[in-house]
Amino acid sequence: MDDARGVSFRRLLGTELRKLVDTRSGRWMLIAILALTGVAMAVPLWIGRDTGSGILGLLVAASIPQAVLIPVLGIMTAANEWSQRTALITFTQEPRRLRVMAAKTAAAVLLGMAVLALSILAAILAHVASMASVDGQVDLSIGWTLLGHLVVIQLLGVLTGVAFGALLLSVPLGIVAYVLVPALSPLVFMATSWLRENAAWLDMTSAQAPLLGDEVLTGEQWAQVGTTSALWILLPLVLGFRRVARKQVA
């Protein structure tokens, strides 16, 4: 039920979810994510066509295109209102802008988790079919560690996109920044010996690399994930939300 000051959070969340699924750009992005996930899983299926493909390889393959594209979904969620000049309508209906941004963030996270769940289901079915084709033994012992890592990767990816989108308030600029930062960071971290030695504490890609395995991360590795997330996700997210709250809507 709507309160006197604006729209209920549940209704806002439903609206933002519909925007992600019903709009042409959101729909095509979801199709691209699912299609490329299928293509990525086809690689280990082809390699293991004579022996069968393990569930671990299929899951890791599925996570690669999602790690690239899921942040774009977050960028679109946070910045579409400004790129399409519909912010005035949205913030007139709900003047509490941070509440709107919270709903956008929650919607992007929920959709990202739904895509991950579909990918896990697809990987299981692909593994079963692959083993059946070679009369092999099905082994679905995925392990909670790997599943947890995949959830963390997906969550951080979505939040990265939301942070870049909120900070820049432009889908094209957000995508360009998201692509350029990981591409240029290896060059930056090769500049000095100190940067090379501390890359895992500053570079998000380096810090998150251990999450693609099924081994339990050490305390230091989790600290590196947390530090880089604070630098590249939390800080831009706070600055972006602050910008949204103060930006004049024309």
pLDDT digits (tens, 9 = 90+) for 181-223: 888 887 888 888 888 888 889 999 889 999 988 889 999 999 9
SS3 category, 6? strand
Closest listed residue to residue 155, CA positions, set 30, 241, 67: 67
Structural domains of the chain, count: 1
List residues bridging with 6 in a β-sheet: 3
Can you give the length of the chain in residues? 250
Give 134's contacts (C-beta < 8 A, 6+ positions apart): 49, 50, 51, 52
User: What secondary structure letter does DSSP report for 231?
Assistant: I
> ∠ CA(217), CA(214), CA(228), 5° rounding?
40
Amino acid in position 242: R
Q: Does the reported pTM lie above 0.75? A: yes
Specify whether the CB–CB gap between 234 and 241 falls below 8 A.
Answer: no
CA-closest candidate to residue 232, choices 162, 176, 151, 173: 162
> Minimal CA–CA distance to 153: which of 165, 164, 161, 143?
161
Mean pLDDT for the chain overall: 89
The answer to whether residue 3 sits within a structural domain is: no
Q: Range of 32's domain?
A: 9-246
User: Do residues 131 and 208 lie in contact, with contact meaning Cβ atoms separated by under 8 Å?
Assistant: no
113 CB contacts (<8 Å, ≥6 apart)?
A: 151, 154, 155
Q: Convert the pLDDT of each residue in 82-132 to its tens digit.
A: 866 777 778 888 888 999 999 999 999 999 999 999 999 999 999 999 999
Query: Could you give the CA distance from residue 119 to residue 105 in angstroms, rounded to a whole number?
Result: 21
Q: Is residue 28 part of a domain?
A: yes
Region of 143 (left: φ > 0; alpha: ψ -120 to 50; beta: rest) is left
Angle at 29 between CA 23 and CA 32, to 5 degrees: 140
**Position 4 in a domain:** no
In a domain, 168, yes or no: yes
pLDDT digits 0-9 by tens, 154-180: 999 999 999 999 999 999 999 999 989
pLDDT digits (tens, 9 = 90+) for 46-94: 998 888 899 988 998 998 898 889 999 999 999 988 866 777 778 888 8
173 occurs within a structural domain: yes
Report how far residue 113's alpha carbon sits from residue 133's, in angstroms, rounded to the nearest whole number: 30
Are 200 and 220 in contact by the 8 Å Cβ rule? The answer is: no
pLDDT at residue 42 in the model:
94
